[in-house]
Amino acid sequence: MGAFEFTEDLKPAIQIDMFKFFYPFLLLGMMACSTASQTAPSDSASEGQIHISVDESFREILEEQIKVYQALQPKTKIIAHYKSEADCWQDLYNDSTRMLIVTKKLNPGETKYYYDSVGVYPESGQLAYDAVALIVNRKALDSVFTQQQVREILTGKSSLPYKPVFDGNRATANFRYAIDSILEGAPADLSRISAAKSGREVIDFIANNPNHIGFVGVSAIGNPEDMVQQRLREKVRIVWVGCRNCAEGQQYSHPAQEEILYNRYPYTRGVYYILKETHAGLGRAFVNFMKKDQGQLIFRRGYLVPAWRPHIVRETEIR
Share of the chain above pLDDT 70, in %: 84
The answer to whether 185 touches 154, Cβ cutoff 8 Å, is no
Distances from the Cα of 37 to the Cα of 30, 50, 77, angstroms: 11, 18, 21
Query: Rounded to an integer, what distance in angstroms lies between the CA atom of residue 281 and that of residue 236?
Result: 43
Return the top range by mean pLDDT from 23-27, 57-61, 97-101.
97-101
- Write the pLDDT tens digit of every residue in 77-107: 999 999 999 999 999 988 899 999 999 988 8
Neighbouring CB atoms inside 10 A of 49's CB total 13
Q: Output the pLDDT for position 272.
A: 97
Amino acid at 200: R
Segment holding 253, helix H or strand E: strand 252-253
The answer to whether 129 touches 269, Cβ cutoff 8 Å, is yes
Which listed CATH number (3.40.605.10, 3.40.1370.10, 3.40.190.10, 3.30.56.10) goes with 130-268?
A: 3.40.190.10
Can you identify the CATH homologous superfamily of domain 48-128+269-306? Periplasmic binding protein-like II (3.40.190.10)
Q: Output the pLDDT for position 228.
A: 78
Can you give the pTM of this predicted structure?
A: 0.81
The answer to whether 175 touches 166, Cβ cutoff 8 Å, is yes
- Write the pLDDT tens digit of every residue in 221-277: 877 777 777 888 888 999 999 999 887 888 999 999 999 999 999 999 999 999 999
| pLDDT value at 19 more than 90 | no
Q: Which of 167, 128, 166, 160 is nearest to 145 (CA)?
A: 160
What's the order of all strands across the beta sheet hosting 252-253? 144-145, 240-242, 252-253
Give residue limits of the domains in the chain. Answer: 48-128+269-306, 130-268
Note the residue count of the chain: 319
One fold for 48-128+269-306 and 130-268 = yes
